[in-house]
Chain A
Amino acid sequence: MPSTDFYPVIAPALTGIGGLLVLLIGVWPRLKDAALVAFYASIVLLLGAMAVLLAPHEAAGFERFITLDPVNRHGWLLFTAGGLATLLLAWRDRQLLGEVDEQFCSLVLFAVTGTYLLSAATNLLAAFIGMELTALSVMAMIAWQPQRKGAVEAAIKYAITATVSGSIMLFGIVLMYAGSGSLYLDAIPGNLGGERTNETLVIVGLAMVLVGIAFELAVAPFHCWLADVFQGSSSPVTAFIASVGKIAMLLFLLNLADQLSGLWPAIHGVIIGMVVLSVVWGNLAALRQSNLKRMLAYSSVAHFGYVLLALTAISGDADGNADLLQAAAYYGLSYAVMNMVSFAVIGLLSGINPSADLEGYRGMGRRYPLLGVALAIAVLSLAGIPPTAGFFAKLFVFTQALNQGQLGLVIIASLAAASSLFYYLRILVVFFSVPSNEVSEEADIALQGDAVVMGPTLVISLSTAAVLLIGLCAGTVLTFI
C-alpha cells in the first residue's frame, strides 16, 4: 500500500482550482477588470508558494504519483516565481496590452500546475499528464493575439512538436511498461531481471522518452521549433517557456536519470551525440542571427547542451550521480534567472522595438542605463563570465564532466563557449553604441511612465540580483539543490 501524504497535492490543487476560479470571473457579470483578474491570479500563485513553504521538509509522496522532496520544493518555488513574473510582465506588456484577460491568467495558472506535476513526477503517467498540461497551456499562450505576425505560425509549430514529442514519449512509456511491468520510476530498476521482463525493451523505451524530453528542451537535433516559437510569441510567454517550462522538464529529466541510473550507460551514446550537436550547432546558428529573440533561442539550444554534458556520465554510482545532478540543476536554475532578465528587458523595450531585431536596440543601454546594466549582467552570465551564475554553472558542469573523464567533450564545449562570446558581445556592443537615430518621443514617454513599468522593473531587478547572488553565493545555493 503506497504511503499517502496530502502535502504534495495542495499546491497543484490550489493553482489548478484557482485557474478554474479565475476563468469563472469571466462569466461573472460586471467584473471585467484585467488588473483585478491578474491580481487574483497572483494571489493564487502566492497561496501555492505558501503551501509549498509550509509543507514539511522531508520528502512526501502522494499515491506514488508525485513526490515533494527538497529539490522539488525549490523547483516549485521557482516555477511559482516564474509564473508570477510572467503575470507581472504580461499585465502591461506593450504587445499584449488590453489582451490579458481572465483566460490568459488561468492559462498561466494551468501551465504552472503542469510544471508542478511534471517536475515532481514519480510515475511516468504523472510526468506525461504534467507535460501535456503545460504544453497545451503554453501553446494557447503562444497563439495569444492571433493577428500578431508569426503568432499562429509559432503556435502551430509548437503544437506539432509538442504532439509529436508527446506521442513519442507516450510510446516510450508504453515500451518501458511492457518491458518492466511498472510505471513507477523507483520500481522499474528493481523489476528488471525478473521473469517476464525485457531490459532491451525498457532501454528502447527510455531512449524514446529521452527523445520526447529532448524535443521539449529543444536540444539539437530536436531544436527546430524553438527559434520560431521564441520569435513568434510575446516576450512574457517566451520568458515563461525558457524559465519555467524548460526547467520543469529538466527537473523531470534529472529525476529520471537519478532513478534509472543503472540503465543510463546504455544511452550514453545518444546523450553524447546530443551534447556535441547542441553546443556546436546552437552556437554556430546563433552567430548568424540578427534577431535578438532568435539569437537567444539558439543560445538556449547550446545551453541545454552544456546541461546534458553533466548527464553524459550518469551511471550506477549513487555518490557521483548526486554531484552530477546537482551541477545540472544549478545550471538549470541559473539559466532560468538569466533568461528571465533577458526576456523581461526585451518585453519592456518591445514598445520601441517590437520585432526584437538586434539593430533596433542600438544605443538602448545608454538611454536606459539600468536596463542596460541588467541586460549586460544577464548576457555576460549567459556567456559564462565570472562572477555571475552562468560562470559557476559552467564551472560545475565542466568540473563534473572532467571528473568523469570526458576531456574531449569538455574541450569541444569550451571552444563552443568561446565562440558564443562573439554574438553575446555583439548584443552588448549594439546596446551600448551610439544610437543611429533618435527614438520617437512617444515610445520614450510610454516607457518612462512610472506605473506602466512597475511590474517588469520589479522582475528585472529581482532576477538580475538573483543572477549575481546565485553566482556569488554559489556555495550556499548548492546546499539547497
Chain B
Amino acid sequence: MLNLVIYFPLLAAAAIWLGCRERGTLARSLTLAVICLETLILFGLAMGGNALSLDAEWIADYGIHYHLQLDGLGLALSVLSGGLAVVAILVGWERIDRWQAFGPLLLATLSGMVGLFAAYDLILFYVFWELMLIPMYFMLAMWGDPDSRRSATQFMLVTVTASLLMLVAIILLFIAHGVQTGIYTFDYGILKQTPLIGNTLLSKLILGGLLLGFGVKVPVFPLHFWAPLAYRKGDPSVIIMLSGAMANAGVYGLLRFTMPLMPEVTASFAPWGMAIGAIGTLYGAAQAIRQDDLRGVIAWSSISHMNIAILALFAWQAQALHGMALQLLAHGLSVAGLFAIAALLLDRKRDGVYANVGGLYAQMPKLGMCFLFFVVATVGMPGLANFAGEALILAGAISRSILWGSVGAVTILLSVIYGVKVYGKVMLGPVNPRVPTELWDLNSREKAALTVLIIAILVIGLMPQLMIETVHLPTAELLAVNIDSLFGGVHAID
C-alpha cells in the first residue's frame, strides 16, 4: 500500500509521458485524474488513522534500510500536497502549454513529496528529497515568465548546494552515531533510540548541515534570498507547489530529524532558532508591505508565514508544535489560494503590478470575493485556518520566550497592513483606464479550484481539533525528547 501511494504517480508520469506525446489535453485530463485518485487514497488513509509502515534491508554494507512509515503528520502533509497539485492543475488549465511534459513532472514531484514524508531512513529521505527537486526545476525553468530560467537555475544551485552539505551532515551523523554506539545505520527508527549526546563541534557541524539543507527550502531567514525572485518569476501553478507544499518538506525535515536525533545541540541552538524565526517573520512582513506587485506581496508573505513555523519549531513545546502543524497546512492552503488568484489574473493578462491594475472588483466580483477570503485567511482572521495555527504558535512561543513570541505577534499586525494594501490596490479604487476591459469573472473550473481551498481553510479553521488529533500522536512522540531538561542545562536523557 505504501509503495502504491508513493510510486503510483511516478508510474503514471512515465505512462503519460510516453503515451501522450502530441496530445496535451489528454495528458492534462489524465494527470488530473491520477492526482485526484492519489489524493483520495491518501485522504482515506489519513481518515483511517493507522500509521503504515514497511521495513526492508536495502544496502546492508552501509546500514541503509528501505524503511517507510507514514504517520498522521506525514499523511496530513501528503494530502495537502495532493490537494495543492489538484489546484495547481485547475488554475493552470488553459495557461500551461505542453501538458504532456508538465503533467508528468508534476506527478513526479508529488511522488517525491509523498515519499519523503514517508521515508524513515535518512538516505531514502534524501533520495525522495532530490526526486522532488529535479522535476520542480524543470517546471520552474520551462514555464513562467520569459526570464524564469535564471531564477530557476539560481533556485536549483542554492538548493542543491544546501542539499549536498545536508548529505555530508547526514553521513557525519551516521559516523558519529556509529562511533558512539557501534551501530552504523541510516535508519531513523534506530538512530532516534540513541540520540547523539553532546554539544561537540561535530554535532554542531551536523546540525549546521541539516539546518542549511532544510532551511533553504523553507525558506528560513536569511537563506530566503532565492525565494522572492523564484516566486515572482515562476508560473503560479508551479509556485503553488513550491511555496505551498515543498516549503513544508523543509519544516518537516527540521522537525523530524534535528531535535530527536541530536537533542542537546539542537536545544542549545533553540534560542537562536526562535530568534531567527521571529526576525525572519518580521522581515518578511516588512518586505511585503514595500512591494508594488501582487506576486511580490504573496512571496514575502509566504516567507513571513513560514518563518513563524520556524519560531514554533524551535520553541519545541506541545502547543507550538500543534500550532506549527496547523500553520503548515493553513499556510499551504492560503498561499495556494493567493497564487491561484495571481494565476487567474495572469490568465486575464494582468500581471498584478499595482500600476497596471486597480478597480478589478467592479468587473469581477466573484473573483474579488474569493481574493478577499484568502487575504483575510492569510492575516489570521479567527475562524479560519491560519488563526488557529498562529494563536497556538504564539501562545507556545511566548511561554518559552516573551521577547521572540511578541516579535512574532507584531507580524500579525503587519500582515493586516500588507493584506489590506494589496487588496485595496488591486481590487478596489477607480478602474484603471490603462487596463483593456475584456474581463470575465470566474468560470466553473476556476470556481471549483478555489472552492476546494476555501472549504479546506474553513474546515481546519472551524475544527482545528480534528487536525490536532491527526498530528497529535507523531508530535507527542517527537516531544518525548524532553527539551525542558535540556533548556535547564540538565544533561540526563534516557
Question: Which residues of A line the B interface, CB within 8 A?
Answer: 323, 326, 369, 380, 385-387, 391-392, 395-396, 398-399, 402-403, 407, 410-411, 414-415, 417-419, 421-422, 425, 428-429, 432-433, 474-475, 478-479
Selected A-B contacts with CB under 8 Å, 29 pairs: A369-B21, A386-B127, A386-B130, A387-B127, A391-B127, A391-B130, A396-B62, A399-B171, A402-B168, A402-B172, A411-B168, A414-B167, A415-B164, A418-B157, A418-B160, A418-B161, A421-B157, A421-B160, A422-B153, A425-B137, A425-B156, A428-B138, A429-B142, A432-B101, A432-B138, A474-B59, A475-B57, A475-B60, A479-B61
Residues of A within 8 A of B174 (CB): 399
- Cross-chain pair count, CB within 8 angstroms: 84
A395 to B122 alpha-carbon distance, docked (Å): 12
Question: Which residues of B line the A interface, CB within 8 A?
Answer: 17-18, 21, 57-62, 64, 101, 123, 126-127, 130-131, 134, 137-138, 141-142, 149, 153, 156-157, 160-161, 164-165, 167-168, 171-172, 174-175, 205
CB distance from A470 to the nearest CB of B (A): 12
Residues of B within 8 A of A425 (CB): 137, 153, 156
Residues of B within 8 A of A418 (CB): 157, 160-161, 164
CB distance from B169 to the nearest CB of A (A): 10
A391 to B134 alpha-carbon distance, docked (Å): 14
CB distance from A416 to the nearest CB of B (A): 10
**CB-CB nearest in chain A for B158:** A418
A414 touches which of B61, B101, B164 (Cβ 8 Å): B164
Residues of A within 8 A of B141 (CB): 429
Q: A411-B168, A425-B137 are in contact. Are A399 and B62 (CB under 8 A)?
A: yes
Residue pair A475, B58 in contact (C-beta under 8 Å):
yes
Q: A380-B134, A386-B130, A475-B57 are in contact. Are A398 and B167 (CB under 8 A)?
A: yes
CB distance from B60 to the nearest CB of A (A): 5
CB distance from B208 to the nearest CB of A (A): 11
Residues of A within 8 A of B64 (CB): 475
Residues of B within 8 A of A478 (CB): 59, 61-62
A339 to B110 alpha-carbon distance, docked (Å): 30
**CB-CB nearest in chain A for B149:** A429
A73 to B110 alpha-carbon distance, docked (Å): 42
Residue pair B167, A475 in contact (C-beta under 8 Å):
no
A417 to B64 alpha-carbon distance, docked (Å): 22
Cβ-closest 5 pairs across A and B? A475-B59, A386-B127, A418-B161, A414-B164, A399-B171
A84 to B134 alpha-carbon distance, docked (Å): 34
A398 to B174 alpha-carbon distance, docked (Å): 12
**CB-CB nearest in chain A for B59:** A475
A410 to B172 alpha-carbon distance, docked (Å): 11
**CB-CB nearest in chain A for B162:** A418
Residue pair B17, A369 in contact (C-beta under 8 Å):
yes
Given pairs A387-B131, A411-B168, A478-B61, 15 additional interface contacts (CB within 8 A): A380-B134, A386-B130, A395-B123, A396-B62, A399-B174, A402-B171, A403-B175, A414-B167, A415-B164, A415-B165, A417-B164, A418-B164, A421-B156, A422-B153, A475-B60
A418 to B154 alpha-carbon distance, docked (Å): 12
B175 touches which of A385, A402, A475 (Cβ 8 Å): A402
Residues of B within 8 A of A421 (CB): 156-157, 160
A478 to B60 alpha-carbon distance, docked (Å): 9
A385 to B159 alpha-carbon distance, docked (Å): 13
Residue pair B126, A386 in contact (C-beta under 8 Å):
yes
A385 touches which of B57, B60, B130, B161 (Cβ 8 Å): B130
**CB-CB nearest in chain A for B137:** A425
Residues of A within 8 A of B57 (CB): 475
Residues of A within 8 A of B137 (CB): 425
A392 to B64 alpha-carbon distance, docked (Å): 11
A352 to B131 alpha-carbon distance, docked (Å): 32
Residue pair A398, B59 in contact (C-beta under 8 Å):
no
Residue pair B171, A395 in contact (C-beta under 8 Å):
yes
Q: By CB atoms of chain A within 10 A, which of B21, B62, B149 has the most?
A: B62
Residues of A within 8 A of B205 (CB): 407
**CB-CB nearest in chain A for B17:** A369
Residues of A within 8 A of B17 (CB): 369
Q: By CB atoms of chain B within 10 A, which of A396, A414, A415, A428 has the most?
A: A414
Q: By CB atoms of chain A within 10 A, which of B18, B138, B160 has the most?
A: B160
Residue pair B18, A369 in contact (C-beta under 8 Å):
yes
A387 to B61 alpha-carbon distance, docked (Å): 17
**CB-CB nearest in chain B for A366:** B101
A337 to B55 alpha-carbon distance, docked (Å): 30
Residues of A within 8 A of B165 (CB): 411, 414-415
Residue pair A433, B127 in contact (C-beta under 8 Å):
no
CB distance from B474 to the nearest CB of A (A): 25
A372 to B125 alpha-carbon distance, docked (Å): 27
A6 to B433 alpha-carbon distance, docked (Å): 93
CB distance from A363 to the nearest CB of B (A): 12
Residues of B within 8 A of A422 (CB): 153, 157
A479 to B60 alpha-carbon distance, docked (Å): 9
A179 to B317 alpha-carbon distance, docked (Å): 68
Q: A403-B175, A421-B160, A475-B58 are in contact. Are A385 and B134 (CB under 8 A)?
A: yes
A323 to B17 alpha-carbon distance, docked (Å): 40
Residues of A within 8 A of B59 (CB): 392, 474-475, 478
A386 to B21 alpha-carbon distance, docked (Å): 26
A395 touches which of B156, B157, B167, B175 (Cβ 8 Å): B167
CB distance from B217 to the nearest CB of A (A): 15
CB distance from A408 to the nearest CB of B (A): 11
A369 to B20 alpha-carbon distance, docked (Å): 11
CB distance from A68 to the nearest CB of B (A): 24
**CB-CB nearest in chain A for B21:** A369
CB distance from B460 to the nearest CB of A (A): 34
CB distance from B156 to the nearest CB of A (A): 6
Residues of B within 8 A of A326 (CB): 61
A387 to B171 alpha-carbon distance, docked (Å): 17
